[in-house]
Amino acid sequence: MFNYLLKIEYDGTNFVGWQSQKNGNSIQDSIEKALKKVLKTKVKIIGAGRTDKGVHALSQFANFQLKKKIEDKKVFINSINFFLKKKLITILGIKEEKKNFHARFSAKLRTYEYLIINRQGSLSIDKNRAWHVKNNIDLKLMKKGARILEGTQDFSTFRAASCSAKSPIKKILPIKIKKLGNTISIKISSKSFLQNQVRSMVGCLKYLSTNKWSITDFKKAFKSKQRNNCAPPAPACGLYLKKIKY
């Protein structure tokens, strides 16, 4: 049995998310259907991260097992991308891994990037690919709030009610926030995340940086460990699965 790892890029706008669901098209279903056409056999893939509806990926990974060896990887990639191109999903690479490799559980670090465009004019080119915020964002306040979220802590405030994680304790590495022109980039890394954690954190940082909250309000909401004290989560369109380290 051969174990293969796919590197994947996709625009999540028109999907219900990564994971197979009965209520619409998922990234997983689309790739599995394409694999079946190319490999002439039913294949089940395991994703490294279950991105939500509307979330994009620049570097998602998924593994699958196959009885036969893929002899020409270049031909394989061209063939599967032929069936995926209209869906805005692209297989960037494929490599063979050890039999016990698992795309989700073998991951050591995940990095998400959130993009905010802070300007008055509405979005055209970046529509569905960033969060449009008209109110002026205080970058110093945003960075101050981000530092409070770093380290090993209880992130219950940012946890969706449907989250299946065993513990709300996560370790967040130093958060990187940069501004280039009107675009603000927020990069958040951890071994794993709670459901809706990144978008909820960004939503709270936005409240703080647009003066809807004071720094005291921000700390109080975080330390309360209560979901109902969280600011509205940032929209999915600005979130990207940026990198996964194995």
Same domain, 88 and 141: no
Regarding whether 188 and 221 lie in a shared domain, the answer is yes
- Is pLDDT at 21 greater than 90 in this prediction? no
Phi first, then psi: what are they for 210, rounded to 5°? -105, 15
Q: Report the predicted TM-score, pTM, of the whole model to 2 decimal places.
A: 0.95
Mean pLDDT of 77-99: 97
Of 63, 97, 131, which residue is a domain's last? Answer: 97
Residues 60 and 118 reside in one and the same domain: no
* Rounded average pLDDT over 114-141: 97
- The parent domain of residue 226 ranges over 109-245
User: Residue type at 161?
Assistant: A
**Catalytic site residue 52?**
yes
Residue 89 and residue 156 in one domain: no
Task: State the CATH number of the domain containing residue 129.
Answer: 3.30.70.660
| Phi, psi values for residue 147, rounded to 5° | -65, -30
pLDDT tens-digit readout, 184-236? 999 999 999 999 999 999 999 999 999 999 999 999 999 999 999 999 999 99
- Rounded to whole angstroms, how far apart are CA atoms 20 and 32? 10
Measured distance CA(205)–CA(5) in Å, rounded: 35
Catalytic residue, from 52, 72, 126, 154: name it. 52
Is 41 part of any domain?
yes
Torsion of CA 145, 150, 156, 158, to 10 degrees: 50
The reply to whether 137 falls in a domain is yes
- Same domain (yes/no): 221, 173: yes
